[in-house]
Amino acid sequence: MMTNRPRGTNDILPGDVEKWQFIEKTAREVCRRFNTAEVRTPVFEHTELFARGVGETTDIVEKEMYTFQDRGERSLTLRPEGTASAVRAFVESKLYAQPQQPTKLFYIGPMFRYERPQSGRYRQFHQFGVEVLGASDPSVDAEVIALAMTFFTELGLNDITLEINSVGSPESRTNYRDVLRSHLHPVKEELCADCQSRYDRNPMRILDCKVDKCKTLTQGAPEMLDHLTDTDREHFQAVCSYLESFGINYTVNPRMVRGLDYYTQTAFEFIENGSTLSGGGRYNGLVEQLGGPEMPGIGFAVGIERALIALQNQQVELPIAKGIDVFFVALGEAAQQHSVKLLHEMRVAGIVADKDYLGKSMKAQMKAADRLSARQVVILGDDELAQGVANVKDMETGEQITVPLAELIEKVQSNM
């Protein structure tokens, strides 16, 4: 049926949406502590932004973008990630010219990739991402990684591995690519078709290939970390020692390359139960590549769906407020009508309140109060209404008192 939701997308329904709200709230609070401000960019951009920003030879640009022509025949693309957009906004609004640098930004929102859907991989998914632009000091790399770690810890996630590597500056890479090509040259023809094309265009990506044959053929390949320039090596060592000083455990993974082309120097991933929860790294050439001044940057993005899977794996109970303050049980026509107004007044006064709308029996209404985990029930019949009172029942203690209607809100609030 074509009116079903498209493959690879999800509805986030009540019952689940509260978990999303908790994750988003935690992200905002942690960012506030790190003095990182929110940026909201369009969900679609000119296709060229991603082609140039993410890289022409990446899977994202080659195979996964939702690209369409609008009625003005412009080629537009639903954003597959947030970094290119954040950097574009930084350049376009000249945030780089503001006196306070670096600029620390975060975003939360949907991203779109035409991938084969499976658990933890969707066509519309959501990222919480952070980008820090305008500082190249290794302490900033460590701070960005620490922000992500603090976020996971605040969510209640423990068993997470941080893997880091340096993919080097362009200078280190030019040198390393040649070394890698010569090493792989004898087995070039045995690599998968994708890797054969990567051999010429971007040989480092061969190290990241998921095909078993390629994994075997690249065993023992020279590692980037052994071919870094002195500056890149010192940068990497400094990032590692800052992490150690923060008490953040990490594993160096010399084969991590990341799937986007903009990375330079530090690259990292947070892994939970074999799945990548978050990935990021430094991208020192991107601002310039997108038309801005020569300015470094670093960031990461967490897949929110994957964070939810991790929370489930680790059986984390999220502190989500349940229940309502008041449920109105009204019996009789006059009481029913009057309860509409009382209910409204309660809500205006800040009380979380609801009622029955379907003319149900007292028993059914009390059941509804239970189902909604109401902490107090206000019972109003026509007789009570005639006397100007209502009965208020505390659902925890079972205690019931009669209260003048004029004092109802005050009484309910005093018991909240």
Instruction: With contacts defined by CB under 6 A, name the span among 40-48, 76-84, 220-228, 355-363 that binds ligand HAM.
Output: 76-84
| Residue 325 binds to ligand HAM (criterion: CB under 6 A) | no
| Residue 138 binds to ligand HAM (criterion: CB under 6 A) | no
| Residue 115 binds to ligand HAM (criterion: CB under 6 A) | yes
Instruction: With contacts defined by CB under 6 A, name the span among 96-104, 195-203, 298-306, 386-394 that binds ligand HAM.
Output: 298-306
Contact (Cβ atoms closer than 8 angstroms) between residue 30 and residue 147: yes
Within residues 377-406, the interface with ligand HAM by CB under 6 A covers none
| Residue 167 binds to ligand HAM (criterion: CB under 6 A) | no
Q: What mask, x for binding ligand HAM by CB under 6 A, covers residues 344 to 373?
A: ------------------------------
> In angstroms, rounded to a whole number, what is the distance separating the alpha carbons of residues 249 and 158?
12
My answer on whether omega of the bond before 203 falls inside 30° of 0, hence cis, is no
Kindly report the backbone phi and psi dihedral angles of residue 415, in degrees, each rounded to the nearest multiple of 5, phi listed first: -105, 10
| Residue 127 binds to ligand HAM (criterion: CB under 6 A) | yes
Instruction: With contacts defined by CB under 6 A, name the span among 199-207, 300-308, 323-331, 391-399 that binds ligand HAM.
Output: 300-308
Contact (Cβ atoms closer than 8 angstroms) between residue 30 and residue 148: no
Residue (59 or 382) nearer to ligand HAM, CB: 59
Handedness of CA 35, 291, 260, 173 (dihedral sign): negative
DSSP structural state of residue 389: E
How far from chain centre, in Å, is Cα 47?
A: 23
To the nearest whole angstrom, how small is the minimum distance from the Cβ of residue 209 to ligand HAM?
A: 16
| Residue 131 binds to ligand HAM (criterion: CB under 6 A) | yes
Find the binder of ligand HAM among 45, 141, 272, 305 (CB under 6 A): 305
How far from chain centre, in Å, is Cα 24?
A: 7
| Residue 376 binds to ligand HAM (criterion: CB under 6 A) | no
Compute CA distances 393 → 322, 369, 403, whole Å.
Answer: 19, 11, 10
Q: Would you list the DSSP string of 232-280?
A: HHHHHHHHHHHHHHHT---EE-TT---SSTT-EEEEEEEEETTEEEEEE
> In angstroms, rounded to a whole number, what is the distance separating the alpha carbons of residues 132 and 181?
33
Residue (166 or 278) nearer to ligand HAM, CB: 278
| Residue 134 binds to ligand HAM (criterion: CB under 6 A) | no
| Residue 55 binds to ligand HAM (criterion: CB under 6 A) | no
| Residue 129 binds to ligand HAM (criterion: CB under 6 A) | yes
| Residue 163 binds to ligand HAM (criterion: CB under 6 A) | no
SS3 state of residue 377:
strand
> In angstroms, rounded to a whole number, what is the distance separating the alpha carbons of residues 239 and 258?
18
> In angstroms, rounded to a whole number, what is the distance separating the alpha carbons of residues 371 and 19?
20
DSSP H/E element including 224: none
| Residue 81 binds to ligand HAM (criterion: CB under 6 A) | yes
**Residues that contact ligand HAM, how many (by CB under 6 A):** 26
Residues that constitute the known binding site: 81-83, 113, 127, 131, 258, 262-263
How many residues belong to the chain? 416
| Residue 83 binds to ligand HAM (criterion: CB under 6 A) | yes
Residues that constitute the known binding site for L-histidine: 81-83, 113, 127, 131, 258, 262-263
Residues 6 or more apart from 9 whose CB is under 8 A from it?
A: 122, 123, 124
> In angstroms, rounded to a whole number, what is the distance separating the alpha carbons of residues 316 and 91?
40
Kindly report the backbone phi and psi dihedral angles of residue 353, in degrees, each rounded to the nearest multiple of 5, phi listed first: -140, 150
| Residue 150 binds to ligand HAM (criterion: CB under 6 A) | no
Cross-strand bridge partners of residue 129: 107, 301
> In angstroms, rounded to a whole number, what is the distance separating the alpha carbons of residues 239 and 231?
12
Q: Which residue is nearest to ligand HAM (CB)?
A: 303
| Residue 259 binds to ligand HAM (criterion: CB under 6 A) | yes
Residue (102 or 129) nearer to ligand HAM, CB: 129
Instruction: With contacts defined by CB under 6 A, name the span among 33-41, 122-130, 195-203, 391-399 that binds ligand HAM.
Output: 122-130
Residue (117 or 254) nearer to ligand HAM, CB: 117
To the nearest whole angstrom, how small is the minimum distance from the Cβ of residue 312 to ligand HAM?
A: 15
Chain residues binding ligand HAM by CB under 6 A are 81-83, 113, 115, 120-122, 125, 127, 129, 131, 259-260, 276-281, 299-301, 303, 305-306
